[in-house]
A = this chain, B = another copy of it.
Amino acid sequence: MNDKKRTEIAELGEFGLIDELTKGFEPQNKRTLRGVGDDAAVIAAGRDDAIVISTDSLLEGVDFDLTYFPLKHLGYKAVTVGVSDILAMNATPEQIMISLGVSSKLPVEALKDLYEGIEFACKEMEVDLVGGDTSASMTGLVINITTIGRAKRKAISYRSGAQLNDLICITGDLGSAYMGLSLLEREKRVLRDIANPEPKFEGYEYLLQSYLKPRARKDIIEMLAEEGIVPTSMIDISDGLASEVLQICKASKCGARIYLNRIPIAKQTSTLAEEMHTDPVIAALNGGNDYELMFTVPLEMQEKVMRLGVIDVIGHITKESTGAYLVTPDGSDIKLRAQGFKEE
């Protein structure tokens, strides 16, 4: 007989779960500048500098499907996932460590492909691979990524710094990675029982690229530095826009208004969404996997930010009491909700 209370993880959601598990863990070390609760931890290094460190896991069957995810791309994407967290702190990524759990079903050649993608991305991002560990896995491929970056302490953008009336800015377009994933999943279903499958991808190459080989936005961090812009808050868009806006609101104790018709959506994203009878805005809000950056700047920086030519202002920060809303073109307000912990 087991009469102990059993709470399902889904009841709390991912963020509720992390809050529940890590409460009571207060940093004791004076060099720990920021612990749990941001894209990366921040640790003092020298008088004015800090080292930022993040960790991410990619699990086969949850985060990727090897039936259509080329290992070279997966290696590349693993680096993007790690580097993106460092960029989201307005820091420069410098080192990365990759730990693998591999099942014997993968030959050495497959792992070499994975590492070729890792190496390519490391060179592109000017990051050193400095370690890792390879162990057997009973089940699928497990990739853990630890990324290390550096910043001047006063240039770090935390999630908690957004101020009333700040502009909410994003890079790139949203939802394309999710539509790329949807396309891959559709072709996998359709071609399941065919001997020599020929998936139809013409016209949607951008979506596949967005999902399979997203490039971390190091260019943005460099541009911001050149222009002397330090975002008041920043986060990378890995779980979908809605979730990230809510994270900023929670950490900064504020509300937000996002204007639906200002969310940048690529032509291919809309076209495939129409073909698949789905809403591209849902892909942008909840799809995830974008690895774009969302940040806030004071209102008076609007012109400076727009001059960069690669940023969209999609809304602004409001008081906490007004909540976080999506404003539709007809003027109605929809409360933003996070997708939370997805059991797939």
> Interface of A with B (CB < 8 Å)?
4-12, 14, 17-18, 20-22, 24-25, 27-29, 31-32, 34-38, 40-41, 43, 45-47, 49, 51, 53-57, 59-63, 94-95, 97, 99, 101-102, 104, 106-109, 111-112, 115, 119, 122, 126-140, 142, 144, 146, 148, 150, 341-344
> Are the C-beta atoms of A55 and B131 separated by less than 8 Å?
yes
> Are the C-beta atoms of A112 and B57 separated by less than 8 Å?
no
One of B28, B61, B106 near A138 (C-beta < 8 A):
B61
One of B11, B36, B61, B99 near A55 (C-beta < 8 A):
B99
> Are the C-beta atoms of B40 and A112 separated by less than 8 Å?
no
Contact partners of A134 in chain B: CB under 8 A: 14, 17-18, 21, 341
> Are the C-beta atoms of B51 and A135 separated by less than 8 Å?
no
One of B6, B31, B63, B148 near A94 (C-beta < 8 A):
B31
Additional pairs, 14, CB under 8 Å, beyond known A9-B104, A139-B140: A14-B135, A17-B111, A29-B94, A32-B95, A34-B130, A35-B129, A36-B132, A41-B130, A45-B49, A53-B95, A57-B101, A59-B101, A59-B136, A62-B137
One of B7, B24, B41, B45 near A45 (C-beta < 8 A):
B45
- Give the nearest-CB partner of A129 in chain B: B25
Contact partners of A49 in chain B: CB under 8 A: 45-46
Contact partners of A55 in chain B: CB under 8 A: 55, 97, 99, 131-133, 144, 146
Q: Give complex CA distance A144, B145 in Å.
A: 9
- Supposing A41-B97, A138-B139, A139-B138 touch, asked if A133 and B57 sit within 8 A by C-beta, the answer is yes
Contact partners of A53 in chain B: CB under 8 A: 53, 95, 97, 130-131, 146, 148
A311 CB → nearest B CB, Å: 27
A10 CB → nearest B CB, Å: 7
- Give the nearest-CB partner of A342 in chain B: B136
A80 CB → nearest B CB, Å: 16
Contact partners of A342 in chain B: CB under 8 A: 136
A sample of 12 cross-chain residue pairs with beta-carbon separation below 8 angstroms, ordered by A number, consists of A14-B134, A22-B129, A25-B119, A27-B130, A31-B94, A32-B128, A36-B130, A45-B49, A57-B142, A59-B142, A61-B139, A97-B146
Contact partners of A139 in chain B: CB under 8 A: 59, 61, 138-140
